[in-house]
C-alpha cells in the first residue's frame, strides 16, 4: 500500500540555521499538508498546498517558513532561521482529491534545535 | 474558530471492559469529525469518520450536535487497542485543515 514518506527521521540543527524537511506524498494525491507537534502538545496545522500554491496557512506559518513542490514528487518545508521553539515533530500529510476525506500521514521528522 | 477538546490525557481500562474516549468540539458551521489513532512507533492513521457511521476494530462514534460531542466507544477493550487517540475536526471545505484535540493515551491492561 502506498505511504507518505519523510526524510530525515531526525534532524538536529543549531539555532539560526536553515533546515529543509522533505516529504514524498502518495503519488496521485493532490492536496498536501504540514503539521507539527511540540512535545507534550497537540498536533497543529501549519500549511496546506494545492495546485502549486498555498491554499491555507496558520498563524504559526510566518515568514520564516516556506513550502515548495520542486519536482512533482517531493514536498518540502523550509525553516529559514531556526529558533529553539521550532523543536517539534513535523508531519507531512497528503489527500487524494477534494472529494476524498482521509489525510494520509507520514511518520514524521523530529527536529531538534540546539 | 475551530476547537477540539479531549478532557482525558490518560485513560486506563482492563481488557474486556468498555471504553469511552471523550471529544467535544466547537465550530459554527457543519464540521466533519474524525478519530485518528497512533499506535506505538507508528504513524497517525484514520480510525473512523462520523459521516461513514461504520465500526472499525469494534469502535464507534456518534456525532451529537446538541452536545457538540463525538465520543469514541468500544464495548470490550482489547490489549491491542492501547494507543494514542486523537479527535480531529475539519471544516469540510475542499482541502481544509484538520484541527486536533490534545489526544488521549489509552492503556488496556491484561
3-state secondary structure string across A33-82: EEEEECCCCCEEEEEEEECCEEEEECCCCCCCEEEECCCCCCEEEEECCC
pLDDT bucket at B29, cuts 50 / 70 / 90 = confident
Extract the C-alpha cell encoding A20. Answer: 529543509
Residue B81 confidence (pLDDT): 97
Residue B95 confidence (pLDDT): 60
What Rg value do the Cα atoms of chain A yield, rounded? 13
Interchain CB distance below 8 Å, A95 and B96: no
Q: How many residues does chain A have?
A: 114
pLDDT at B92 over 70: no
pLDDT at A73 over 90: no
Residue A101 confidence (pLDDT): 80
H or E, element range at A89: strand A88-95
Tell which A residues from 61 to 90 touch B, by Cβ distance under 8 Å.
none
* A96: contact with B, CB 8 A cutoff: no
Query: Which of chain A's residues have a Cβ under 8 Å away from the Cβ of B32?
Result: 101
CA–CA separation, B86 and B82 (whole Å): 13
Q: State the average pLDDT over residues A42-65.
A: 94
Per DSSP, the residues of B69-107 read B--EEESS--GGG-EEEEEEEE--STTPPEEE---EEEE
Residue A97 confidence (pLDDT): 82
Extract the C-alpha cell encoding A53. Answer: 500554491
Q: Give the whole-number percent of chain A exceeding pLDDT 70.
A: 100
Question: A35 to chain B nearest CA, in Å?
Answer: 9
CA–CA separation, B81 and B39 (whole Å): 8
Q: State the average pLDDT over residues B4-14.
A: 97
Contact predicate A80/A18, CB 8 Å: yes
Residue A34 confidence (pLDDT): 98
Per DSSP, the residues of A4-39 read -EEE-SEEEE-TT--EEEEEE--TT--EEEEEEE-T
Each residue's pLDDT tens digit, B31-69 = 889 999 999 888 999 999 887 777 788 999 989 989 999
Identify which of B94, B98, B102 has the shortest CB distance to residue A103: B98
Each residue's pLDDT tens digit, A25-37 = 999 899 999 999 9
Amino acid at each position: 500500500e502506498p505511504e507518505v514518506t519523510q526524510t530525515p527521521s531526525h534532524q538536529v540543527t543549531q539555532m539560526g540555521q536553515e533546515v529543509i524537511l522533505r516529504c514524498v506524498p502518495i503519488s496521485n494525491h493532490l492536496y498536501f499538508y504540514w503539521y507539527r507537534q511540540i512535545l507534550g502538545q497537540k498536533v497543529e496545522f501549519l500549511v496546506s498546498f494545492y495546485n502549486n500554491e498555498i491554499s491555507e496557512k496558520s498563524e504559526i506559518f510566518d515568514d520564516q517558513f516556506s513550502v515548495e513542490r520542486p519536482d512533482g514528487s517531493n514536498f518540502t518545508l523550509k525553516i529559514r532561521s531556526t529558533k529553539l521553539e521550532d523543536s517539534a515533530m513535523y508531519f507531512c500529510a497528503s489527500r487524494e482529491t477534494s472529494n476524498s476525506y482521509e489525510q494520509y500521514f507520514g511518520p514524521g521528522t523530529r527536529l531538534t534545535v540546539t | 474558530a475551530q476547537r477540539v477538546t479531549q478532557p482525558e490525557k490518560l485513560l486506563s481500562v482492563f481488557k474486556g471492559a468498555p471504553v469511552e474516549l471523550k471529544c467535544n468540539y466547537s465550530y459554527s458551521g457543519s464540521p466533519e469529525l474524525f478519530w485518528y489513532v497512533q499506535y506505538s512507533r507508528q504513524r497517525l492513521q484514520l480510525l473512523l469518520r462520523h459521516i461513514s457511521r461504520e465500526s472499525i476494530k469494534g469502535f464507534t462514534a456518534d456525532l451529537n450536535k446538541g452536545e457538540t460531542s463525538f465520543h469514541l466507544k468500544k464495548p470490550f477493550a482489547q490489549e491491542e487497542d492501547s494507543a494514542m487517540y486523537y479527535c480531529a475536526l475539519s471544516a469540510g471545505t475542499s482541502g481544509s485543515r484538520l484541527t486536533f484535540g490534545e489526544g488521549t493515551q489509552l492503556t488496556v491492561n491484561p
